[in-house]
Structure 1
Amino acid sequence: MKKRILSLTLVICLLISLLVGCGQKDSDSESDTPSTGNAAEDGVKFAVLFGTGGLGDNGYNDEVYKGCEMAVEQLDASFDYCEPKDVAEFETQLRSYADSGEYDVIIAISTEQVDALKMVAEEYQDQKFCMLDTIVEGYDNIHSISAAYPDQHFLSGMLAGLATQDERFPLSNPENVLGFCIAMDTPTSRGQAAGFIAGAKYVNPDVEILTNYIGAYNDPATAKELALMMYERGADIVSANAGSSTQGVFYAAEEKDRYVIGTSLAMADPDHSLCTSLKKVWLFVVQEIESLQNGTWEPGNTVMGIPEGVCNYDIEGLNVEIPEDIVAILDEARELIANGDLVLPTDLDQIDEWASQNQYNK
């Protein structure tokens, strides 16, 4: 009998160990009443499925978590979350959240999760879902909220195009070559790369821009090797937007003593980061929970970028000094985009035609 009890205990411990990637975060409410999912009475309760890069990536996942904490602090919400290690886990976890009936909205955050989200949303049509940073169309129970993909990287691409070959930037070289490590062959990743390339060519039409696909959001080793090859081919600035894989590009920049452009201030290397391609993804989470709280939630797509103040470049905490004449050029371009006078390409196959029609007039 004792052996049976011990065996049962071991099984339970094993099951618990399989759930270590999941957790919860409650509001500071002192009420002992369990949440019923009624936002008007109990505050919004939501669930988040993080990407395979996981928390602690100093990037996208951590920034989404920041938004979750802001929703808890500002809106009296609470949330549960899970950190899948593999794409195969997405559908199972989404279905588990939906089947519980506990959540006002279930939030998926990664392009990798789209197929699983669509499948589960079709099965649970009374459950609200949110897709962050990727557009999902044609579902009455999914709201997509995302950045305008090229907006996040256009200004940093401009800065890179101006900084390469400029002797005022000590880690630049005369080769006129840049690099961009693309996470995946998806519309999101290609749109981000398109923004960077368009920005660079807007101010430097003769610049050569090397690109490659990492193939994962959690593979810094591959990202490092790809970035090293770019630096060895003459690039003095390499950018990436690839979750925790981006850390490998930073390792390569440090090794080669060249510039790097990432997407998170937390990951930035003060000595090698030219700037950060900033996307305030935490605002997406807050806006989603606010819409549930005030009863304005609707399915469909919301896209925000430079005009809404969601996307920008940033040099906070970096040792780089950007000359005032370059800052003025970046400010001018930001204003053109905000006013709708400069429309950016959204995919790589649009770059050549766009660049032929859009050049900065010095």
Structure 2
Amino acid sequence: MYKNLAAALAAACFFSPVFSQTKAPAEPVKAGFVYVSPITEAGWTRQHDEGRKAVEAALGAGVKTTFVENVPEGPDAERVIRDLAATGHKIIFTPSFGYMEPTLKVAQDFPGVKFESITGYKQSANVATANARYYEGRYLAGIAAGRMSKTGVAGYVAGFPIPEVLQGINAFTLGMRSVNPQAQVKVVWLNVWFDPPKERDGAMALFNQDADVVAFHTGSTAVMVAAQERGKLAVAYHSDMRRVGPDAQIVAVTHQWGDYYTARVRAAQNGTWKSGNVWGGVKEGMIRVGDFGSKVPQAVQQEVLARQKDIAAGKLHPFQATRTAVRDNEGHEVIAKGQTLGDAQILGMNWLAEGVVGKLTR
């Protein structure tokens, strides 16, 4: 899935007794991308647009990409997806959880078009799903935060309490407490993915509650900018954000979509595309932790990178109870000693780990 597929077919030649001519090259495959926010200098949408650019770089004249940015989840998304399907796009990527249902609805009316519901979980004959194991990067970032925090209190600016976000909060907390067992993570829920002023306000509120390092699951750089202004630390998400937080960034959890997108467009191009589900992480190259800030000691960098190698090799799992059972923040055992959560349990996560200060908003 993540290696180059077969090279594009060479143009065929037709010969007749009277003349010879080369067939016109095949039309480039049209690939559409729908983005939930504007394309900013870093963040969720930026990483998906980098994936789109990687497709263009890999396939050249064999592909023509189109993107529509800042499309709200809901009826507007269905309109945009339908318009792309109706205008000859052979494969359409819809990278936002709230695009799942509109994607499925449009796909029913365009059985010849391939759809990629990124972060969705419902498939059909012409709708595939894909996501990344963000929680692996979150655990590693938690180790860095645990080593760097002086107060032992971290903040977390979160969008919505869906399993993907809970996985990240819990993995971050478990990573942090693996090096500082008394660490706390305070959560602020925004109930929005992209709203820079609200993201900033959430970060500022956490800094006022003794958090000296923050992580976030939102779409802009606002939290990193706030940390830079307050002289605090932050974990970059989606993209490297050192440009806006040169002193604040300790590490970045980055998403790498280029190889996946390229492979899927190639498959649509050569007729090998099939529906299915991909959930890739550090091992598959879809999640990477690095881009350390200048304040992070070499020893901490080496520790985080070593644990990243352990995850890639299957030696470390963020949701594994090795020495003691893992409990939620209400005292219930959620991972028995010696046990590791399976994918189904991770995908259905509905609890907050011990050490998290906050409650689920239902």
Residues 272 and 179 from structure 1, CA distance in 2 versus in 1: closer, same or farther, beyond 3 angstroms?
same
Residues 262 and 125 from structure 1, CA distance in 2 versus in 1: closer, same or farther, beyond 3 angstroms?
same
Unaligned runs of 5+ in 2: 1-10, 12-24, 321-325, 340-362
Alignment counterpart, residue 310 of structure 2, candidates 315, 329, 336:
336
Structure 1 match to 2:203: 227
The within-5 A match list for 1:189-200 is 189-200=165-176
CA contact (8 A) 2:117 2:130 kept: yes
Structure 2 match to 1:136: 121
Structure 1 match to 2:180: 204
Q: TM-score, normalised by structure 1?
A: 0.76
Cα shift at 1:162: 1.6
Equivalent pairs, count: 303
Secondary structure of the residue aligned to 1:239 is: strand
The within-5 A match list for 1:31-42 is 41-42=26-27
Alignment counterpart, residue 297 of structure 2, candidates 322, 327, 330:
322
Unaligned runs of 5+ in 1: 1-30, 32-39, 166-174
CA contact (8 A) 2:282 2:308 kept: yes
The within-5 A match list for 1:204-353 is 204-244=180-220, 247-263=221-237, 264-266=239-241, 268-315=244-291, 318-324=293-299, 326-345=300-319, 353=334
Q: Distance in 2 between matches of 1:177 and 1:200?
A: 10
What is the one-letter code of the residue matched to 1:63? Q
Q: Compute the RMSD of aligned alpha carbons.
A: 2.6
> 2:120 matched to 1:146?
no
Q: Distance in 2 between matches of 1:138 and 1:221?
A: 35
What is the one-letter code of the residue matched to 1:118? L
CA contact (8 A) 1:137 1:300 kept: no
Cα shift at 1:147: 0.7
**CA deviation vs aligned residue, 1:287-306 (integer Å, no higher than 9, x gap):** 32233234432111111111
The within-5 A match list for 1:172-183 is 175-183=151-159
Q: Distance in 1 between matches of 2:131 and 2:249?
A: 25
Secondary structure of the residue aligned to 2:33 is: strand
**4+ residue runs over 4 A deviation:** 348-352, 354-358
Structure 2 match to 1:90: 77
Residues 355 and 156 from structure 1, CA distance in 2 versus in 1: closer, same or farther, beyond 3 angstroms?
farther
> 2:174 matched to 1:156?
no
Q: Distance in 1 between matches of 2:302 and 2:294?
A: 19
Q: Distance in 1 between matches of 2:271 and 2:181?
A: 48
Cα shift at 1:204: 2.0
Secondary structure of the residue aligned to 1:180 is: strand
What is the one-letter code of the residue matched to 2:193? Y
Residues 142 and 119 from structure 1, CA distance in 2 versus in 1: closer, same or farther, beyond 3 angstroms?
same
In terms of fraction of residues, the more helix-rich structure is 1
Secondary structure of the residue aligned to 1:41 is: coil
Cα shift at 1:354: 4.7
Residues 257 and 112 from structure 1, CA distance in 2 versus in 1: closer, same or farther, beyond 3 angstroms?
same
Cα shift at 1:205: 2.1
Structure 1 match to 2:56: 72
Q: Distance in 2 between matches of 1:105 and 1:349?
A: 43
Q: Distance in 2 between matches of 1:85 and 1:269?
A: 27
Secondary structure of the residue aligned to 1:200 is: helix
Q: TM-score, normalised by structure 2?
A: 0.76
Secondary structure of the residue aligned to 2:134 is: coil
What is the one-letter code of the residue matched to 2:81? L
